[in-house]
Amino acid sequence: MRSRLSPLRLAVAGAILLVAVFAYMVTQKSDKLLEVPDKAHSLTGLIRVPGTSRRQDGGGIYYVDVVLQKASLLQAASKLFRPEGADLISQNEFVPTGLTYGQQLKVDAETMTVSQKKASVVALRALGLKFPAREGGVRVAAIDSDSRARGVLKPQDVVVAADGRKIATTLDLFNALGRHRPGDVVSIGVLRNGKRLGFRIKTIADKTEPGRPLIGFAPIEVVNARLPVPVHFDLGRDVGGPSAGLAFALEVLEQRGRDVDHGLKIAATGEIQLDGSVTSIGGVKQKTIGARQAHVDAFLVPVDGDNAKVAKRYAHGLRIIPVKNFQQALQALATLPRNS
């Protein structure tokens, strides 16, 4: 004789199963990542220039970043369970050169250090200080496991030429490779322990943009500069990448006594170059939301790469100031209406 489960027991069993499946999908991580907005952070007290003091006027310079975290199976399956403004991406989008996740984090940390040096140079030069500073090539930080450069290039090599043309920046290298197709051979010159060496390396295809050729290594720009005054950065948290360069440069000026923010709370993003130009960055949507969450008065965003257009889409009343270079950013802030 068979016993039948009552409707109540069936319902209870179904509910228990549903809860178990839900708990599993919440706790188990997927192979995807989430780009999550992070409230903008004030740079007051995080950058120090000995012998100077920042004016206390209620204003401040803020930098914005994006929190990157592993998505749960549930978050990967439905955007209803993702934080506000979060985007789901593949790991290849965060690690475009095919490096490991850990290697990319290290590269990002080194890139931020270079960004801090560039920002210091631009800010101190804006104050009229004269000192030597120049780009010195592109350093090999790590090599892609699929790269034909493995066994040829070594970490810490500095690429200074490609196809007979001088390479001073990552943009120079990008442009040189842009003249090729994946599978072409490129001639490069490198500095290794002070010696100039030449190699011919077959390019590979970018995993996210198959038509784009790569040598297959993580590039870090070399910046040679002798700052006339030391500038110390201590963000107190793990942050990487070059996107805070503009904010860093503005805060260095504030530390040197220049009234940049005029009593306003100003968020800024953009990679800064030694010539003062401000170039495009990623995660503009999340950074705009983060600036809004901090209730800043305005948000400076690069014109480059349509960054400012994207920011305006998510501004929701936040004043967006598009900028092409550092001097334009200063001029825009000088003419910004003050709070009553």
CATH number assigned to the domain comprising residue 74: 3.30.230.10
Report, as an integer, the average pLDDT of 286-314. Answer: 97
- DSSP tag of 26: H
| Same domain, yes or no: 155 and 105 | no
Average pLDDT score, the chain: 90
Q: Indicate if the pLDDT at residue 96 is higher than 80.
A: no
Phi, psi of 164 (to 5 degrees): 85, 0
Confidence band for 55, pLDDT divided at 50, 70 and 90: low
Give how far the C-alpha of residue 143 lies from the chain's centroid of Cα atoms, to the nearest Å.
Answer: 20
| Same domain, yes or no: 172 and 54 | no
Identify the burial level of 205 via C-beta atoms within 10 angstroms of its C-beta, where 0-12 means exposed, 13-18 middle and 19 or more buried. middle
| Same domain, yes or no: 247 and 121 | yes
Percent of the chain exceeding pLDDT 90 equals 68
Q: Indicate if the pLDDT at residue 227 is higher than 80.
A: yes
CB 322 within 8 A of CB 303: yes
Phi, psi of 334 (to 5 degrees): -65, -25
Query: Distances from the Cα of 313 to the Cαs of 270, 307, 318, 321, in angstroms?
Result: 17, 10, 10, 13
Strand 271-272 and strand 265-268: pairing?
unpaired
Structural domain of 66: 38-131+229-334
Q: Which of 47-61, 89-103, 165-179, 312-326 has the lowest mean pLDDT?
A: 89-103
H or E element that contains 204: strand 204-205
Q: Indicate if the pLDDT at residue 340 is higher than 70.
A: no
Question: 59: which 2 tokens?
Answer: 């204003």
| Same domain, yes or no: 160 and 301 | no
